[in-house]
Amino acid sequence: MPPLPFEPKDPAYAERVRASFGRQAAMDTIGASLQAVEPGRVVIELPYAPHITQQHGFVHGGIVAAALDSACGYAASTLMPAEAGVLTIEFKVNLMAPAQGQRFRMVGEVVKPGRTISVTEAKAYAVDDAGREKLVASMHATMMVIIGRDDVRH
Amino acid sequence: MPPLPFEPKDPAYAERVRASFGRQAAMDTIGASLQAVEPGRVVIELPYAPHITQQHGFVHGGIVAAALDSACGYAASTLMPAEAGVLTIEFKVNLMAPAQGQRFRMVGEVVKPGRTISVTEAKAYAVDDAGREKLVASMHATMMVIIGRDDVRH
Amino acid sequence: MPPLPFEPKDPAYAERVRASFGRQAAMDTIGASLQAVEPGRVVIELPYAPHITQQHGFVHGGIVAAALDSACGYAASTLMPAEAGVLTIEFKVNLMAPAQGQRFRMVGEVVKPGRTISVTEAKAYAVDDAGREKLVASMHATMMVIIGRDDVRH
Amino acid sequence: MPPLPFEPKDPAYAERVRASFGRQAAMDTIGASLQAVEPGRVVIELPYAPHITQQHGFVHGGIVAAALDSACGYAASTLMPAEAGVLTIEFKVNLMAPAQGQRFRMVGEVVKPGRTISVTEAKAYAVDDAGREKLVASMHATMMVIIGRDDVRH
């Protein structure tokens, strides 16, 4: 993946994002981990596990959405000032194939950063035992930049 | 809530939906339970718990989405023939307020049932200690009816 | 339809909305007119006409979306201060049936008003010669309140 | 733009798409024209014109959506069998900047083709007098393949 054309405002963006992700208990519960943090892009990995499945044994679409939401939110966060928080206003998910695989790679990217609103997107790829990737879901999300609220920082 | 104007095709729809929900390990992992099953409507309850939160201590928006997705999918399922399965094609979530509360009530309803495609919606209400409800999120989801695939039933 | 539980901040909201709608040349081009303006709700009517159709002779889904977008935006506008403008951040449309009919009735409503963000929804009903209504489309839209920009007022 | 990795099933896909676009009276009404048709991709151009504006003089977001919807639908159509029709199930639009410009270029592409469902996306770029482009809107749309219905062909 080529670098995105974005300049971070906060030189410590990567540490800030990693620390915040570490406080998302929900990500720990589903087994998701942060693999990469760049200006405007974040990669999250989610291994297949029986405790996150739906009734057919695929990973639950809502769990895929949870990881994609974190990927979008933190992609937006990499471009924000140090004191800003981010809240998801809305997202849409298209589930294109059952979430079957050994693990899943979620790549979140900023499409359009903004002072108040950032538009982001993410794709989820299922990875099989041989390392082959298949697109299984996409997200398109609107993030709101929050400044000056102590309960919504980072 | 008044009954919805729908006739189930499968008289055993409630048992079928309850059994299928019981096989969604992801719902058990996040702590969600099925409270009501009617023709075209399903109610899911999700208690607040630290293991499903994001970095500010609110319930993670993606976890709210996961419960809403199950509410939409099973609402659609109540109106389907006994042998049909249901897959989510896409959903959109609007997060209107931080998911703070003692517990959350998700109400999923069918807007337009169809032979191939069913359109559904769901609302998530935060409930505080005094039982007061506040709308915190909505979902609008498109479900696909799957017939004749052994790996996607119920 | 029962009144919505909203108090307008601007007593002249209806005249303001009607004047603004009158400046939307696009609504005139497609033939849409404003039928009702209440606190938190707006009704737009769109007669069937050959110049707004797609290749099968139904009204083009994008034209239905344009009228629904105006219904959502003006529903939000009814609850805003006199000096505020409104911009659509995003919307999603579900097209549930072909837009066939003698005319179409779009009802836009505010789901959650806010100081910065308002969440709205709208439904499009096809009306036949006998006056029977059928739900053909729904929209769920996020509106942004704009204050202090001279190029975005009303 | 590099070619997309898709093989058309219908060798006459371009003529078929052009003929169908020519029957969309709504596109003629708003002034949109078909600029390019390739396997999995379609480009539509929309000149700025006063009759498609909203109250601030920008192109109405719903009109942008109408052109994007056609771009998505015809992108899907390029990969379909000759006898198939296409209907939009749903789309989401993010409006990232006011639609100001001399003209607008809409690029619709297939993300995932399918026998029954095709997932597509489109971007709208405003082009100024100097030919500079700016991303102003994106669409993510789900299309349904219709076979065997005489009223929904091409």
Residue A17, pLDDT > 90, answer yes
Question: How high is the pLDDT of residue D98?
Answer: 93
pLDDT range class, residue D147, cuts 50, 70, 90 = confident
Residues in CB range of A95: below 8 A, 6 or more apart: A61, A64, A136, A137, B87, B88, B89, B90
On whether any CB of chain C is under 8 Å from the CB of B149, the answer is no
Residue B154, pLDDT > 80, answer no
Q: Taking a C-beta distance cutoff of 8 angstroms, is the pair A129, B118 a contact? A: no
> How close A110 gets to chain D, by Cα (Å)?
12
Q: What is the DSSP track for D76-129?
A: HHTTS-TT-EEEEEEEEEEE-S---SSEEEEEEEEEE--SSEEEEEEEEEEE-T
On whether any CB of chain B is under 8 Å from the CB of D134, the answer is no
Residue B148, pLDDT > 90, answer no
Q: Taking a C-beta distance cutoff of 8 angstroms, is the pair A139, A91 a contact? A: yes
pTM over 0.90, yes/no: yes
| CB-CB neighbors (< 8 A) of A89 in chain D | none
Which residue, D79, D73, D76, is CA-closest to D7? D79
pLDDT tens, residue by residue, A44-63: 999 999 999 999 999 999 99
Residue C110, pLDDT > 90, answer yes
Residue A2, pLDDT > 90, answer no
> How close D22 gets to chain A, by Cα (Å)?
30
Residue B145, pLDDT > 80, answer yes
Residues in CB range of B112: below 8 A, 6 or more apart: B118, B119, C96, C97, C135
Subunit contact D88:C70, Cβ cutoff 8 A? no
Which residue, B3, B149, B12, B1, is CA-closest to B80? B12
ipTM of the complex: 0.95
Touching D: which chains, 3+ CB pairs < 8 A? A, B, C
Question: How high is the pLDDT of residue C1?
Answer: 80
Testing the interface with B: which of D90, D111, D112 to mutate, by most B Cβ within 10 A?
D90
Question: How high is the pLDDT of residue B86?
Answer: 93
On whether any CB of chain D is under 8 Å from the CB of B90, the answer is yes
Residue C154, pLDDT > 80, answer no
